Structure 1
Amino acid sequence: MIEPVPLTTLVARADARLIADPVTADSVVVTGATLRAQQVLPGDLFAALPGARAHGADFAADAVAAGAVAVLTDEDGAERPAVRDSGLPVIVHSDPRGVLGAVAAWVYGEPSLTLSVLGITGTSGKTTTSYLVESGLRVAGHHTGLIGTVETRIGTERLASAFTTPEAPDLQALFAAMVERGVTHVAMEVSSHALALGRVNGTRFTVGAFTNLSQDHLDFHRDMEDYFAAKSLLFDGRSTHEVVVLDSAWGQALVTPQTVTVSTETDSDAAWRADDIALTPTGEQSFTLHAPDGRAAKATLPLPGEFNVANAVLAAAVLDTVGVGLDDIVAGLASVEVPGRMERVYLGQPFTAVVDYAHKPAAVTQALAALRARTEGRIITVLGCGGDRDTAKRPMMGEAAVRGSDLVIVTDDNPRSEDPAVIREAMLAGARAVGPSEGCEVREIGDRREAISAAVAHAEAGDVVLVAGKGHETGQEVAGVVHPFSDRDELEAAIRERLGEPQ
């Protein structure tokens, strides 16, 4: 149960200005918070934030009608008619978005102080590392929560994920629900957007972990330095323990004397390392996991690619930091399942079929390198790029696909509001620039379903078909409409057709 919080307490803790009749203000208590007027419940604080296209204050009337008891906004919002005429107490703060996380945490009883919140940031590997951490926690007997791109989970109950990291009030409410349900540890992805926009403000992380950094989200961040600065916010004192992969200059820049370090490089002096990496006859990876104080264990991982070994070693270090034993860590790594991350689709066909979420140049390169190490046949890649996102990476995506494949089929991803043909052309420019020298054939099939079918039809025994970019997603957004679409389902259907099985 959420204990009502006096409005005046929130104002004082936020060091904000209150516009309200003193008698009225003294009697108001808050039982929830949201920044979406359509989601207001009776007793909520409505956060009316300035946005790129509109100001949340303009929707205050809807919040009032739904039962909001107060408004948090900036000076501009406080002067807007919908707020000024609402009759509600108004908390005015110069940075309402920045303070919202802390305010929401106070409203919901500061649940992250009760939970062990294990946050993972970085460009690639956040999802996989979160699942690896959560798997180890469960093996060790902890009651777990999971927050990320694929899903949000309280114990075994699955919830849909709208963002990699929820908005601040939603996140604090989710933490509070987890506390009520007996969760003790939460593995969560922490995106650069969430850090830059203050979604995790008010959250105390038991562990903050860093995977890697490569080009992505440059439609939001000014440049790579700005992108890294956002990631670095997880290590600005809000994490009790910090765990960092050293295998890049970006990771090395985060290291302090207290940092727990991780590496897969053989000459590294990191606290946590892996060596003797090899493929097992069943297609898993095996490696020796080296822990501090001379501890070591043989580990297996049901995920291909040395980059996933790095994710596994990072997860091991995080788990050790919160007291999980080495035997349970190894068991957790061996039993992990990660939807849409190098996920194999096997129906008895004579070639390998894989779905992966790789939607960044470095991730495409890593995925293809991992698959190349496991096959002597050809690699056939189906790949697109999303619309309304970082346009600079599109030719780089095409180039990365060609350098690791024998046939690349450029197709649509989520074009969103853009012309799909324009997106494909940018990818094709990068692909065709290096295709002849790499000996890779490049085709264009705009319809993603047809592209997947063509790849499957072209595959021969021993080949690999990689459908990349959308991973776990179950929709395709075209011109503002999300159509049902699952790469896994479409790949399975194409294989069934190839095998002559009924659909």
Structure 2
Amino acid sequence: MLFSLTTAQQHLSITSIWGPEQTEVDSLCYNSSDAGKNSAFFCIIGSQADGHEYAREAIKNGASMIVGSNKPFLEKLTAHYPSVTFLHVADSKIAMAEFSIFFHNFVHHSLKTIGVTGTNGKTTVTAYTRTLLNRLNVPTGIMGTAGMWDHQSKLTFKQTTPTTPEAPDLHAIFERIYQNGAKAVSLEATSIAIEQQRLHGIMFDVGIHTNLSPEHLDFHETMDHYKQSKLKLFLQSKQAVVNLDDEGMADDILAVFKGPLLTYSIEKKADIYAEQIVPDETGTSLTIVTQHNRYDIHVPVFGSYNISNLLASFCACMHLGMEEEHIIAQLPFIEGPEGRFQVIDHYPRYKIILDYAHTPDALELVIEAAKKLKHRRLILMLTGIGLRDPLKRPKMAKAAEGKADAFVVSVDHPGFVDREKVADDVVSGFSDPHAPNVYKEPLREHAIHRSLSLSEEGDLVLITGLGFGGYQHVNGEQVPYDELQVIQDFFDKEKAQNIVSS
């Protein structure tokens, strides 16, 4: 597109301009290796590198515009590249978000937007919301840890962040989802994404709060900073959904949010709450109480925490104008994301559950839910994460101790950290790290196979951690990884061994 700065300045926070005031811009990027002909390159100052140092490389690769916050550097550079447009801005991250919105013609205004924040439950809430709205004839996509989806299928998209995309990617996905026919999008709004201004400029139709517990302290350093980052979502939301059961930040939202608000609970009386929650082998029976009625239903959902997530999605749909009777009618057809209390039941003799639990409180909740299902012994696989706060690793073992019959400890996304070190950190959280029922398998594939090999008739194997997403971060690379294939490999190997032995 022909980028006219005369027009653009009405929407962008530009303080100085050098070079052509009209230039062709066909793409936006923040990695110089992604720059091509007529790219706009944003010089982002991060914790590891300063994007200004890569401006020359971006120009060499074809960038027609450079946007940065280092004015002396840009002034010096413009003398060497008179055909390139240089823009000085106060904050490159905010500028990148503003440019992304402008470049994609404010397409998010054409979508109903639902932002979900919280330590746990974000992915499940976005998936539940998508299911409900799709069934209520509001075609809805999702963005987050489970990938990018329109209302019909998963989109092919290279994720450069684990959950919430950077602004150029975010608005490109908005446009793609909209062009595919969606009318709404439900996305995970992480604290880091909020703090890094990836969501700047978006006024969400609904902001949803799930819960708050210690996480990402390697980035935020303090729980207060973590909470304050999440609270910012509700400064850019028209309507709010708040979990009254969460002691972490529910009261803070209620104190600051002034717009239309719905509360939900599985422990207290709220605008929408659940009672008489009874799990069984196929899901959960419960009563949902609204301000107008009571509904007795059965849903294919396991765990009280997922009932809470279901209520959050219920509230979001109500905020978007859906009739509560119509929402209730669709709840028995709710679908969660893969890897969130996913029951694998097509292997005779084996009962397997996969769950993304990667924080101590999430692990406790999923164990509690799993133990309500019929089983003889519980074999639990738990992990430490190389890319996350190392202080959290032993807490995973402490959260699980005494709640399973056998423990297999492994590693997710080791990054540049030694797998043995990560696994040892987790194991150190057990009161007896050398107990005979504690097994250490630093490679996730080996840990899954060990867990399954420990299982006997009637046992339940609970495999937790960041197994879904299609890759593992290893030494700076995204190494392809398929959790379901790893499980299938175990049974293929077992079958081959049986044939040989017979």
**TM-score normalised by structure 2 residue count:** 0.90
The answer for the alignment partner of 2:313 in structure 1 is 315
CA apart distance, 1:30: 4.3
Q: Is the 8 A contact 2:141 2:150 kept in 1?
A: yes
The more displaced of 138-147 and 178-187 is 178-187
The code of the aligned residue for 2:275 comes to D
The answer for the alignment partner of 2:439 in structure 1 is 443
Change (3 A) 1:155 1:67: farther
What are the within-5 Å matches in structure 2 for residues 322-337 of structure 1?
A: 322-335=320-333, 336-337=335-336
The code of the aligned residue for 2:219 comes to F
Mapped partners of 1:77, 1:471: distance in 2: 46
CA apart distance, 1:171: 0.9
The code of the aligned residue for 1:155 comes to H
CA displacement, residues 25-60 of structure 1 (integer Å, 9 cap, x when unaligned)? 1x3354542222333354442211222232222222
CA apart distance, 1:158: 1.9
Q: Is the 8 A contact 1:60 1:83 kept in 2?
A: no
CA apart distance, 1:84: 5.5
Change (3 A) 1:499 1:432: farther
Mapped partners of 1:328, 1:136: distance in 2: 10
Unmatched 5+ residue regions in structure 1? none
2:51 is equivalent to residue 56 of structure 1: yes
Mapped partners of 1:484, 1:106: distance in 2: 34
The answer for the alignment partner of 2:278 in structure 1 is 278
How large is the RMSD of aligned CA atoms in angstroms? 2.5
Mapped partners of 2:227, 2:94: distance in 1: 19
Residues matched between the structures, number: 490
Partner residue of 1:6 out of 4, 7, 13 = 4
The answer for the alignment partner of 2:269 in structure 1 is 269
What are the within-5 Å matches in structure 2 for residues 32-47 of structure 1?
A: 32-47=27-42
CA apart distance, 1:433: 5.0
Change (3 A) 1:398 1:502: farther
The answer for the alignment partner of 1:475 in structure 2 is 471
Mapped partners of 1:291, 1:496: distance in 2: 49
The answer for the alignment partner of 1:432 in structure 2 is 431
Change (3 A) 1:432 1:502: farther
What are the within-5 Å matches in structure 2 for residues 78-227 of structure 1?
A: 78-79=73-74, 85-87=80-82, 88-159=84-155, 160=157, 161-163=159-161, 164-227=163-226
Mapped partners of 1:284, 1:403: distance in 2: 25
Q: Is the 8 A contact 1:100 1:201 kept in 2?
A: no
Mapped partners of 1:77, 1:173: distance in 2: 32
Equivalent residue of 1:349, what SS? coil
The more displaced of 488-497 and 169-178 is 488-497
Mapped partners of 2:53, 2:75: distance in 1: 7
The code of the aligned residue for 1:37 comes to S
The more displaced of 207-216 and 94-103 is 94-103
Equivalent residue of 1:381, what SS? strand
Mapped partners of 1:398, 1:77: distance in 2: 51
Mapped partners of 2:106, 2:402: distance in 1: 49
The answer for the alignment partner of 2:367 in structure 1 is 368
CA apart distance, 1:94: 1.8
The answer for the alignment partner of 2:340 in structure 1 is 341
Q: Is the 8 A contact 1:137 1:332 kept in 2?
A: no
The answer for the alignment partner of 2:241 in structure 1 is 243
The code of the aligned residue for 2:207 comes to G
CA displacement, residues 430-477 of structure 1 (integer Å, 9 cap, x when unaligned)? 0235997xxx93222233333222221221222211111023233333
CA displacement, residues 253-310 of structure 1 (integer Å, 9 cap, x when unaligned)? 2114642111111xx2310111121124x42112122223x13323333231100000
The code of the aligned residue for 1:18 comes to S
CA displacement, residues 319-376 of structure 1 (integer Å, 9 cap, x when unaligned)? 1111223344235433214111111122343342111111111111111010011134
Unmatched 5+ residue regions in structure 2? none
Q: Is the 8 A contact 1:380 1:466 kept in 2?
A: yes
Q: Is the 8 A contact 2:409 2:441 kept in 1?
A: yes
Change (3 A) 1:59 1:345: same
Mapped partners of 1:420, 1:318: distance in 2: 41
CA displacement, residues 378-410 of structure 1 (integer Å, 9 cap, x when unaligned)? 211112211132011011011112242121111
Equivalent residue of 2:295, what SS? strand
Q: Is the 8 A contact 1:165 1:194 kept in 2?
A: yes
Mapped partners of 1:404, 1:28: distance in 2: 63
Equivalent residue of 1:183, what SS? coil
Equivalent residue of 1:431, what SS? coil
The answer for the alignment partner of 1:260 in structure 2 is 262
Q: Is the 8 A contact 1:345 1:488 kept in 2?
A: no
**TM-score normalised by structure 1 residue count:** 0.90
Mapped partners of 1:354, 1:77: distance in 2: 57
Mapped partners of 1:70, 1:188: distance in 2: 30
The code of the aligned residue for 2:109 comes to L
Q: Is the 8 A contact 2:303 2:366 kept in 1?
A: yes
Mapped partners of 1:332, 1:471: distance in 2: 29
Mapped partners of 2:79, 2:456: distance in 1: 68
The answer for the alignment partner of 1:19 in structure 2 is 17
The code of the aligned residue for 1:121 comes to T
The code of the aligned residue for 1:45 comes to A
Q: Is the 8 A contact 2:45 2:51 kept in 1?
A: yes
Equivalent residue of 1:239, what SS? coil
Mapped partners of 1:84, 1:382: distance in 2: 59
Change (3 A) 1:35 1:478: closer
Mapped partners of 2:124, 2:72: distance in 1: 41
Q: Is the 8 A contact 1:58 1:82 kept in 2?
A: no
Mapped partners of 1:502, 1:171: distance in 2: 50
Mapped partners of 2:447, 2:499: distance in 1: 20
Q: Is the 8 A contact 1:456 1:498 kept in 2?
A: no
Change (3 A) 1:403 1:203: farther
Equivalent residue of 1:253, what SS? helix
Partner residue of 1:302 out of 300, 303, 312 = 300
2:455 is equivalent to residue 459 of structure 1: yes
Mapped partners of 2:321, 2:58: distance in 1: 44
Equivalent residue of 2:216, what SS? coil
